[in-house]
Amino acid sequence: MTLYPINAGYFKLDGGAMFGVVPKVIWNKTNPADANNLCSWAMRCLLIEDNGRLILVDNGIGDKQDAKFFSHYYLHGDAGLDDSLKQNGFEKKDITDVFLTHLHFDHCGGSIIRRGNQLEPAFPNAKYWSNEKHWLWAEQPNDREKASFLKENILPIKESGSLNLVPVPETTGTNYLPAIDFLPGFEIRYVNGHTASMMLPQVKYKGRTIVYVADLFPSAGHLPVPYVMAYDMFPLTTLHEKKQFLEEAVDENYVLFFEHDPVNECCTVQRTEKGVRVKDIFRLKDL
């Protein structure tokens, strides 16, 4: 197995929304805001090459929306999905599987491209993976979350026949579900605080466990348990999931791979007097 970080670009979101009830005077130290209170965030995907399959985890915001849409998110920098794939020797047609942690636009917008008046899969030879609970949640969004679920990102996947749904284990009442097998060496963890049935890939690599933490921990600055995004649908569930995961991550020496941290790619964690915090920060290639 070989893992490749894939940079789909950078965008901006309101710092207060990203840190919820935490005061700016605190979060601004780790994620400094601009004059408009916006912070820069990465859209860092993960490419997994294993046994003839090339699996792309998430794919960023895409480029098919109109200028008004993109004006809200201030895309910046030179990085992009196609260029990042090319730098690692791949093209979109090489991808065999697109694994979507969840269907918010900044995670799945690159799934679909606009060709003339048609919307079609950006990865023509790939199977797309979601799960039934989250797919239904996204197809019939609540009023608070519907701005994140864009039909043009979601429905063409199903219409193309590329959609595949993985099973979701039944809850035990704790809302912290055990990991289930997806492929050899690749497990799925389910969490429900940010949105219904978000999937976190958990991969065995070089003798370590790499967890793609998606929006459970958008950045290293979100490790403190109370630092919960205002975007989360069920904040108390997120609190519970973060606590349980961090204890496990310390005990098992997990590597956390950050999707949105603009600076830090990976870290390990340790217990401190203030709770679980960063131990070591590094790039995946240095593992």
Task: Reduce the secondary structure of 82-146 to three states and give it as a string.
Answer: HHHHHHCCCCHHHCCEEECCCCCHHHHHHHEEEECCEEEECCCCCEEEEEHHHHHHHHCCCCCCC
Span 1-36, pLDDT tens digits: 999 999 999 999 999 999 999 999 999 999 999 999
Mean predicted confidence (pLDDT) in 104-132: 96
> What is the DSSP secondary structure assignment for residue 262, as one 8-state letter?
S
Mean pLDDT score of the chain: 95
Of 76-85, 155-164, 170-179, 189-198, the least confident: 170-179
Instruction: Tell whether the model's pLDDT for residue 113 goes beyond 80.
Output: yes
Instruction: Output the pLDDT for position 175.
Output: 58
Residue pair 92/99 in contact by the 8 Å Cβ criterion: no
Lowest mean pLDDT among 147-156, 165-174, 179-188, 261-270: 165-174
**pLDDT more than 90, % of the chain:** 93
This prediction's pTM: 0.95
pLDDT of residue 116: 86
Give the per-residue pLDDT at 174. 53
Predicted pLDDT at 173: 53
pLDDT of residue 176: 62
pLDDT score for 62: 95
Domains of the chain: 2-286 (3.60.15.10)
pLDDT digits (tens, 9 = 90+) for 197-236: 999 999 999 999 999 999 999 999 999 999 999 999 999 9
pLDDT greater than 80 at residue 170: no
Angle, vertex CA 153, rays to CA 149 and CA 157, nearest 5:
120
b/e burial code for range 233-254 (CB count within 10 A of at least 16 → b): ebbebbbbbbeebbeebbeeeb
Q: What ranges in 115-234 are assigned the alpha helix state H?
A: 132-139, 151-159
Instruction: Give the separation between CA 212 and CA 235, rounded to whole angstroms.
Output: 20
